[in-house]
């Protein structure tokens, strides 16, 4: 149930258009719905401004479809992350959910049922290399389903730093930037020293043996000498996007209040 739907429901009870028992029936799945194998948090949309997201690994196709359908029935936009192609194929074959799409690079299943107001500013997502794009794509689809305008800037890492320089003027206009890098993860530190906004650094598991599946990039980012850098877990584009969106929304809301 969307916040505006809840407000309308309460107004109907107040004016006598709806019996309390009928309202209780509509609210019975708040704050969560017990599916037996999962408790779907329908209240998260109201608490946090975006619905629960499905993390697919470890779940069966049937479980993913059941959770996805439960969220879809409330009119929410729905996102399933780390979903393989066969999960999407099973969802389509089930004929339970329509208008879903699969973003292969991001490994994400997306259902957009509600158009959200778009962010005032663009959220840049910058990758050090082409191999980092899958993690950046996860960040991009997550941010966009939450109403953010994004721009993906790819392959501008420290192996050829001159590639980054042409993007600096527009990066300096951002409220927050996501930087996705594997190998030694140095791009976050470089960019953090060139812009006046926070940087969310995402280490990826891309690299040779001594990168230890992203641990090297993670430690580099955690030990950055550039201030204003926050680091999420290895390959966690989703978390970076949620954090960036929450910050960007606060800035947009503050800007709206000033203009009013």
5-32 residue pLDDT tens:
667 778 888 888 888 877 766 665 566 7
Report pTM: 0.82
Pairing of strands 100-103, 78-81: unpaired
Fold of the CATH domain 122-253: Rossmann fold (3.40.50)
Residues ≥6 apart with Cβ < 8 Å to 212: none
- Interstrand relation of 122-127 and 100-103 (parallel, antiparallel or unpaired): unpaired
| CA–CA separation, 132 and 84 (whole Å) | 18
Q: Is the dihedral of CA 158, 160, 165, 167 positive or negative?
A: negative
User: Average of pLDDT values for 161-171?
Assistant: 91
Q: Is the pLDDT of residue 260 over 60?
A: no
Q: Which pLDDT score, from 0 to 100, does residue 218 have?
A: 95
- Note whether 187 and 154 are within 8 A (CB): no
Give the residue among 136, 130, 113 at the shortest CA–CA distance from 203. Answer: 136
CA atoms within 13 A on the CB side of 232: 22
Tens-digit pLDDT profile for residues 219-256? 999 999 888 999 999 999 999 999 999 999 888 777 66
Distance of CA 185 to the CA centre of its chain: 21
- For the beta carbon of residue 217, count every other beta carbon within 10 angstroms: 31
- The CB density around residue 22, as the number of other CB atoms within 10 Å, is 13
Instruction: Please name the residue ranges forming H helices in 162-214.
Output: 162-165, 168-171, 187-192
79-103 pLDDT per residue, tens: 999 999 999 999 999 988 889 999 9
Q: What are the structure tokens assigned to 229, written together?
A: 């850098």
Q: Which of 184, 187, 201 is nearest to 155 (CA)?
A: 187
| CA gap 79, 220 in Å, rounded | 31
pLDDT at 257: 60
Look up residue 116 and give its DSSP letter. Answer: P
Domain ranges of the chain: 31-111, 122-253
Of the CA atoms within 13 Å of residue 61, those in its CB half-sphere come to 12
The answer to whether the Cα torsion of 54, 31, 38, 70 is positive or negative is negative
Mean pLDDT of the region 43-71: 85
How many beta carbons lie within 10 A of that of residue 186, not counting itself? 18
Q: Band the pLDDT of 180: cuts 50, 70, 90.
A: very high
């Amino acid at each position: 149930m969307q916040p505006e739907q809840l407000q309308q429901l309460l107004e109907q009870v107040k004016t006598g258009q709806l019996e309390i028992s009928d309202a209780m029936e509509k609210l019975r799945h708040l704050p969560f719905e017990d599916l037996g194998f999962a408790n779907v948090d329908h209240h998260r949309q109201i608490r946090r401004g975006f619905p629960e997201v499905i993390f697919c690994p470890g779940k069966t196709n049937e479980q993913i479809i059941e959770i996805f359908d439960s969220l879809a029935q409330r009119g929410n936009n729905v996102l399933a992350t780390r979903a393989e192609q066969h999960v999407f194929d099973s969802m389509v074959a089930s004929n339970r959910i329509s208008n879903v799409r699969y973003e292969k690079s991001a490994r994400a299943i997306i259902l957009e049922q509600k158009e959200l107001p778009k962010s005032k500013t663009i959220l840049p997502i910058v990758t050090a290399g082409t191999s980092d794009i899958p993690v950046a794509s996860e960040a991009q689809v997550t941010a966009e389903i939450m109403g953010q305008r994004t721009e993906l800037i790819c392959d501008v890492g420290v192996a050829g730093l001159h590639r980054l320089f042409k993007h600096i003027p527009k990066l300096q206009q951002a409220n927050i930037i996501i930087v996705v890098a594997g190998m030694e993860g140095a791009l976050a530190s470089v960019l953090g020293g060139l812009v006046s906004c926070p940087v969310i650094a995402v280490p990826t598991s891309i690299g040779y043996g001594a990168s230890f599946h992203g641990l090297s990039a993670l430690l580099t980012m955690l030990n950055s000498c550039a201030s204003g850098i926050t680091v999420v877990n290895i390959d966690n584009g989703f978390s970076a996007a949620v954090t960036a969106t929450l910050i960007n929304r606060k800035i947009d809301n503050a800007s709206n209040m000033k203009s009013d």
